[in-house]
Amino acid sequence: MTPALTVEGLTVVADGRRGSAVEIVRDVSFTVARGARMGLVGESGSGKTMTAMAVMGLLRRPLRVSGGSVLLGDTDLRALRGRALARVRGGRVAMIYQDPMQSLNPLHRVGEQIAEAIRLHAEVGRREAMARAVELLTDVGIDDPAVKARAYPHELSGGMRQRVMIAMALAADPELLLCDEPTTALDVTTQRRIVELLVRISRERGVAMVMITHDLGVAAGFCDEIAVMYAGRLVEQAPVRELYAAPRHPYTEALLGAACDLTLPLERPIPTIAGQPPLPGRLAGGCSFHPRCPYAQEVCTLERPLLAAPDAAAPARVACHFALTREKVRHG
């Protein structure tokens, strides 16, 4: 079956002065099967959000896609323009952001906003659209949906606003949902409920989802598969259990080692990843991670490792000259 999303060789650049361009996302390829949930994880600035924005066709100057393809099912999104692109965006593919207040109009009742999103993609009257909006609020677990539909965004809690955003994203029955740090601004309990809601929606409606997050705990509870980004590239991709049990890339191992563990004694220092993520345009030669990698050898400074299966039996792909084995992993 055709995947819900196929990204091949996606490259995003930021245009500079005198014709210069800096690569922000570099040759990224992945697929997301229908109804599957993939996590795109990495530190801030690793290119996760830019990848999602490029998939949605939302990049604005000086950013642009300079290469690669993005297929939604069989539809080439890069070939779409104007109204054709607008019909797909918010229709077949929708996005949820970290801060719902940035996306919701503070001057309109939330039910009206969802109904408007429904009418943008379906020929239905106002009354029918409002009835569907109330149904969607019910689906996303909002109590008293008819009453809440009449509320303004500021009258709702952060968790409820995010549920409203999810309802709005579902308005046109999308086949793909991109979730950009959708739980970052929420408390831990609400985070968990939103993640559970997204998993339920994906299962019940068969919606493929890509979760962009720096939080490996959130990713673990949500994803079937995880793709790790570093300095604009994918460095590892693996089924979630495999990746947590035995990360193959030293950066993935370091990310897992630096994840907050509330069971550890307070006096124990919180582990961090040595060094800083590189700035775009100032990447080290060879493997971009080599200045921070405890396993680096000379070849790492000279040759860029390609993303490939480390051995025939592995379901993972990893970009490392010395991919870790289960025995070598040090995290945990």
With b for 16 or more beta-carbon neighbours within 10 A and e for fewer, the 297-310 pattern comes to eeebeeeebebeeb
Site string for ligand SF4, 241-270 (x = CB under 6 A): ---------x--------------------
Torsion of CA 303, 307, 313, 316, to 10 degrees: 130
The least distance separating ligand SF4 from the CB of residue 325, rounded to whole angstroms, comes to 13
Smaller CB separation from ligand SF4, 26 or 148? 26
- Provide the minimum distance between the beta carbon of 156 and ligand SF4 in the complex, in angstroms, as a whole number: 44
Positive or negative torsion for Cα 247, 251, 257, 260: negative
The yes or no reply on residue 295 touching ligand SF4 (CB under 6 A) is yes
Distance of CA 59 to the CA centre of its chain: 16
Would you say 216 and 240 are in contact if contact means Cβ atoms under 8 Å apart?
no
Give the separation between CA 279 and CA 231, rounded to whole angstroms. 8
Show the site string, 185-224: x = touches ligand SF4 by CB under 6 A, - = not.
Answer: ----------------------------------------
| CB-nearer residue toward ligand SF4: 68 or 305 | 305
- According to the binding rule CB under 6 A, does residue 331 interact with ligand SF4? no
Q: For ligand SF4, give the closer residue by CB, 166 or 227.
A: 227
Which residues 6+ apart lie within 8 Å of 32 measured at CB? Answer: 3, 4, 5, 38, 176, 208, 209, 210
CA distance 260 to 216: 9
Smallest distance from the beta carbon of 271 to ligand SF4, in angstroms? Answer: 17
Q: Which of 55, 287, 307, 316 binds ligand SF4 (CB under 6 A)?
A: 287
Q: In terms of CB distance, is 191 or 252 closer to ligand SF4?
A: 252
Work out whether 320 is an interface residue with ligand SF4 (CB under 6 A).
yes
> What DSSP element (H or E) covers 27?
strand 21-32
Task: Write down the residue that tokens 């409606």 correspond to.
Answer: 205
Q: With binding defined as CB under 6 A, does residue 321 bind ligand SF4?
A: yes
Q: How far apart are CA 298 and CA 231, in angstroms?
A: 20
Out of 56, 65, 293, 307, the residue judged to bind ligand SF4 by CB under 6 A: 293
230 is a site residue for ligand SF4 (CB under 6 A)? no
Residues interacting with ligand SF4, by CB under 6 A? 250, 287, 289-290, 293, 295-296, 300, 305, 320-322
